[in-house]
């Protein structure tokens, strides 16, 4: 497998991992908890999701041929929550992720060094992917942190549970060395 192919497959797996991480956090919440904001300067989980989806639709629609900041995008409106139900939140979430996944599936490795633009600033395709691999996990981390706070002691850990690192490491080191993406085991575990 070439480095370019390996990079693209790794990026796809990492996006999927963070999508699933967000979904596992959302699954633990009561519908009304998606709309909780602790103060006027804090976004609810629903609002964070609306923003992520808006960003994804703008960045990944016609990814290779148009600026990633689309004229039709109203970023400020993404922070005004008008979603009313958990179903609407998940619909918006899936719309953004589907757009991203379709764009990534259509990419060919020879396009990774092509130049695309976001707000008139040129990026290689790899740089654009990396930019979003930093942006979306940042917001998924907010979702997970917020969900954990809302659930308090009822939270089911999405990573290595507290005081279980020794067991986790022992299990990992008991296996033969192998080359694979860290998400391979995590994605299986989360399903």
- Ordered by start, the domain boundaries in the chain are 3-190
| Mean pLDDT rounded to a whole number for the chain | 92
CB 22 within 8 Å of CB 93: yes
Could you say which of 3.40.50.10140, 1.20.120.450, 1.20.1250.20, 3.55.40.20 is the CATH number of the domain covering 3-190?
1.20.120.450
Rounded to whole angstroms, the Cα distance separating 15 from 10 reads: 9
CB 68 within 8 Å of CB 58: yes
This prediction has a pTM of 0.90
From first to last of its 191 residues, the chain has per-residue pLDDT tens of 677 789 999 999 999 999 999 999 999 999 999 999 999 899 999 999 999 999 999 999 999 999 999 999 999 999 998 999 999 999 999 999 999 999 999 999 999 999 999 999 999 999 999 999 999 999 999 999 999 999 988 899 888 878 888 887 788 888 888 877 777 777 666 66
Q: Give tens-digit pLDDT for 39-49.
A: 989 999 999 99
Backbone angles phi, psi at 114, to 5 degrees: -60, 155
């Amino acid at each position: 497998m070439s480095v370019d192919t390996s990079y693209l497959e790794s990026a796809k797996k990492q996006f999927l991992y963070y999508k699933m991480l967000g979904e596992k956090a959302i699954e633990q919440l009561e519908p009304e908890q998606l709309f909780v904001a602790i103060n006027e300067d804090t976004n609810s989980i629903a609002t964070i999701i609306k923003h992520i989806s808006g960003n994804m639709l703008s960045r990944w629609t016609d990814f290779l041929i148009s600026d990633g900041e689309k004229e039709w995008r109203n970023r400020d409106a993404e922070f005004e929550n008008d979603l009313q139900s958990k179903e609407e939140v998940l619909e918006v979430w899936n719309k953004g992720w589907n757009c991203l996944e379709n764009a990534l599936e259509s990419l060919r490795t020879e396009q990774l060094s092509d130049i695309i633009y976001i707000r008139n600033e040129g990026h290689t395709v790899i740089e654009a992917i990396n930019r979003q691999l930093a942006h979306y996990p940042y917001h998924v981390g907010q979702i997970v942190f917020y969900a954990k706070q809302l659930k308090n002691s009822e939270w089911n850990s999405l990573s290595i549970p507290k005081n279980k690192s020794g067991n986790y490491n022992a299990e990992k080191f008991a296996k033969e060395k192998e080359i694979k993406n860290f998400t391979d085991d995590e994605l299986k575990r989360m399903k």
